[in-house]
Structure 1
Amino acid sequence: MKKSTLIMLIIVAVIVLFGIGACSTYNGMVEKQETATTALADVQATYQRRADLIPNLAKTVQAYAKHERQTFEEVTKARASVGQIKLDASNLTPEKIKQFEAAQGQLSQALGKLMVVAERYPELKANQNFHSLQIQLEGTENRINYARQNYNEAVQKYNQDVRTFPNVIFAGMFGFNRMEKFEAAAGAEKAPELNFNE
């Protein structure tokens, strides 16, 4: 075998190995990115479930507490603001996540006020429809927490993949950027103070 043929075979082998490695790395990053974006969609769907439960809960409470108009207006306004903010996995910035979280936080606060109102009406707490909605809402809050954890884990795996060597080279070539995680809201480490005597 000639020396030039041997060199050509080595060059072709290196190119083939590089191509196989690039394909494998690219496919791995796509898989992890898809897992993360699916997890983000799950987070949004779970938050939407909560938003969908709130009108029924508010109507049930309103039937017993007609004079609590300000609370119902806050719930309606907070729910509307949540519906205006959509997260897009292709353009997920820390600012957009903070906006989304702020809107969800406002809705949580309004919902908390609604539940305080409900505490003032023993006959409402005994209502089966209210009790059922309350249980569904509790379950949804747990689902939200689980969905956020799943998303953060998927993003962590994806970010590790696109930031490690040699993947970082391919990530830059193919446009795989670091994704943002959900973080706890400021003050979340403190338990909320509820005053049932307001």
Structure 2
Amino acid sequence: MDFKKFLPWIIGIGLILIVAFWVIGINNTGLKKNQAVNKEWGNVETTYQRRNDLIGNLVNTVKGAADFEKSTLTAVIEARAKATSITVDPTNVTPEQLAAFNSAQSGVSSSLSKLLVSVERYPELKANQNFLDLQRELASTENQILTARTRFNEAVQDYNSYVLAIPQSWFLSYPEKPFFKSVDGANKPVEVKF
């Protein structure tokens, strides 16, 4: 049997198989990076959910102080409701969706900081152990939110760097994902008034 006449066919089939496995590898890696972004977004949502749960407990604790300002509590409750109504699909996230989500969460942060500042005028509330525990938990949760957002942005950077680079972009149809950005005015110092 003469292998020389089959050698071009063997080489051609071998090259086709190598290219096919290479393209499959590119697709699988893109899929893994996309899933990593989705997972990190889930972590972001989980930390915001934790904050929302803690805010509910904090509001109920503060309501116990009968003479506490109702308008401040109402602002926190409304901001929390607005923030929980906005959902983002991590598989098809757009910069506009992230901006709306970020804006709603910023409203929660703003109203929550006003609530905590106004508490300074209520010594019986400041001494309440439940309130102090919730304050500590909220501070811890804000740090977790920062960490989750940072990890999300790292996953997005890894994903975008992969799917937008050549030759992967020739074979993948994954869209570029936006980064989590700060809200407008976040670069200015916060003015706290007592």
- TM-score normalised by length of structure 1: 0.93
How far apart, in 2, do the equivalents of 1:43 and 1:18 lie?
38
- Residue 93 of structure 1, CA deviation: 0.4
Check conservation: 2:51, 2:142, Cα contact below 8 A: yes
Identity of aligned residues (%): 40
- Matching residue within 167, 176, 179 for 2:177: 179
2:136 paired with 1:135: yes
Unpaired segments ≥5 residues, structure 1? none
Q: Secondary structure at the match of 1:59?
A: helix
Partner residue, 2:65: 64
Question: What count of residue pairs does the alignment treat as equivalent?
Answer: 193
Show CA shifts across 1:110-144 (max 9, x none): 10111111111122111110000000000000000
Partner residue, 1:103: 104
How far apart, in 2, do the equivalents of 1:66 and 1:182 lie?
39
Unpaired segments ≥5 residues, structure 2? none
Q: Which letter maps to 1:147?
A: A
- Residue 67 of structure 1, CA deviation: 4.4
**Moved runs in structure 1, 4+ residues, more than 3 A?**
1-4
Partner residue, 2:6: 5
Q: Which letter maps to 1:72?
A: L
Show CA shifts across 1:48-89 (max 9, x none): 110111111112222225341111111111111111111101
How far apart, in 1, do the equivalents of 2:184 and 2:52 lie?
22
How far apart, in 2, do the equivalents of 1:48 and 1:20 lie?
41
- Residue 189 of structure 1, CA deviation: 1.5
Check conservation: 1:58, 1:114, Cα contact below 8 A: no
Structure 2 counterparts to residues 110-149 of structure 1, below 5 A? 110-149=111-150
Greater CA drift, 142-151 or 117-126: 117-126
Q: Which letter maps to 1:167?
A: Q
2:151 paired with 1:150: yes
2:90 paired with 1:89: yes
- Residue 163 of structure 1, CA deviation: 0.9
Give the RMSD, CA atoms, in angstroms: 1.3
Greater CA drift, 147-156 or 63-72: 63-72
